[in-house]
């Protein structure tokens, strides 16, 4: 039997694993008592779950990213030593999951001369110097369970892949928004949103005008069920209709407006409940105490 090691893949996992230890150290700067709740190390990919109630802010995540990339740039040595479990405990090394470790354990230390950056008991495979990680970036942070947060991060070369993906997204936004550079995107979006607001208010006032003219000219009826009945065209926008109808018919107890595709609006005053009318005639739709709206052919039986 021959054991073959896929070197590039193994090296990619080593980068991610050592970066996981650095991430754990960085997190303890914000949450000194946090403990690891689980982790997954894959090729230049790492997922780290930890106990805490609060999510980190965007600024804090950026700071963690900077610290880790600084440690990478510093080319800190990663040393592996086998020591007794008691010795490791005395050194304050992080041992996870309250696991029963063997008598002798492997201590992974990342240090700057005598200054210890990270010390963890771990049987995983690691790079020998942080410079070999090359780069680190956080992809996401989320709450996965009560009191447990998850960070997903990449190491080189997935960092570059992510940079390219982000750049592709930015480039398509630059094209769609017809601006010269990404710094102009925000200004353009703000300008477009303002224009949209203006257009919306113009179209609303136009629509109100059209509806008012319609209400002036339309034939009004009444029957045993409603004081005012109006048949409106199918294109009628029902959104501004309730306030307009109440303005037009202030002394009416019950109003029914419907279109030829059987969309309806029922308005009542407090003397009668709109809900009771829809229940009485078994009309489909939503209601409040003084209004009901929906679409139902059964409306034909009450007009
Ligand atoms: Zn480890």
Q: 149 C-alpha vs ligand 1 centroid, how far in Å?
A: 18
Going by their DSSP bridges, the two strands 254-259 and 228-232 should be labelled as parallel
Q: 23 C-alpha vs ligand 1 centroid, how far in Å?
A: 11
The whole-angstrom separation of Cα 110 and Cα 82 is 15
At residue 303, does pLDDT exceed 70? yes
Residues less than 5 Å from ion ligand 1, measured at CB = 122, 124
Q: What is the pLDDT of residue 97?
A: 43
Contact in structure between 69 and 42 (CB atoms under 8 Å): no
Phi, psi of 237 (to 5 degrees): -85, 115
- Residue identified by tokens 């440690």 is 71
Q: 108 C-alpha vs ligand 1 centroid, how far in Å?
A: 8
Contact in structure between 149 and 30 (CB atoms under 8 Å): no
Contact in structure between 27 and 50 (CB atoms under 8 Å): yes
What pTM was computed for the model?
0.73
At residue 101, does pLDDT exceed 80? no
Percent of the chain with pLDDT over 90: 71
| Tokens of residue 246, six digits | 């109440």
The more confident residue out of 299 and 99 is 299
At residue 93, does pLDDT exceed 80? no
HSE value, Cβ hemisphere, 13 Å, CA-based, for 173: 15
């Amino acid at each position: 039997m021959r054991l073959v090691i896929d070197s590039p893949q193994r090296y990619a996992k080593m980068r991610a694993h050592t970066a996981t230890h650095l991430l754990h150290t960085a997190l303890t700067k914000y949450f000194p008592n946090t403990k690891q709740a689980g982790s997954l190390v894959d090729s230049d990919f790492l997922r780290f779950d930890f106990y805490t109630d609060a999510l980190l802010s965007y600024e804090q995540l950026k700071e963690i990213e900077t610290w880790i990339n600084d440690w990478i740039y510093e080319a800190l040595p990663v040393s592996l030593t086998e020591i007794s479990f008691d010795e490791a405990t005395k050194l304050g090394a992080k041992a996870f999951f309250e696991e029963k470790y063997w008598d002798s354990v492997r201590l992974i230390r990342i240090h700057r001369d005598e200054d210890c950056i990270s010390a963890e008991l771990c049987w995983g495979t690691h790079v020998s110097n942080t410079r070999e990680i090359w780069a680190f970036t956080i992809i996401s942070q989320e709450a996965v369970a009560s009191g447990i947060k998850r960070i997903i991060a990449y190491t080189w070369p997935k960092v570059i892949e992510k940079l390219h993906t982000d750049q592709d997204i930015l480039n398509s936004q630059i094209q769609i928004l017809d601006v010269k550079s990404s710094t102009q995107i925000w200004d353009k979006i703000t300008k477009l949103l303002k224009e949209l607001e203006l257009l919306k208010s113009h179209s609303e006032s136009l629509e109100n005008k059209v509806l008012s003219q319609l209400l002036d000219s339309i034939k009004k009826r009444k029957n045993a069920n409603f004081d005012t009945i109006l048949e409106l065209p199918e294109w009628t926008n029902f959104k501004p209709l309730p306030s307009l109808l109440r303005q037009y018919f202030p002394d009416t107890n019950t109003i029914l407006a419907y279109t030829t595709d059987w969309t309806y609006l029922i308005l009542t005053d407090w003397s009668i409940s709109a809900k009771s009318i829809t229940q009485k005639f078994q009309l489909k739709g939503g209601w409040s105490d003084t209004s009901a709206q929906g679409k139902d052919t059964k409306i034909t039986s009450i007009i």
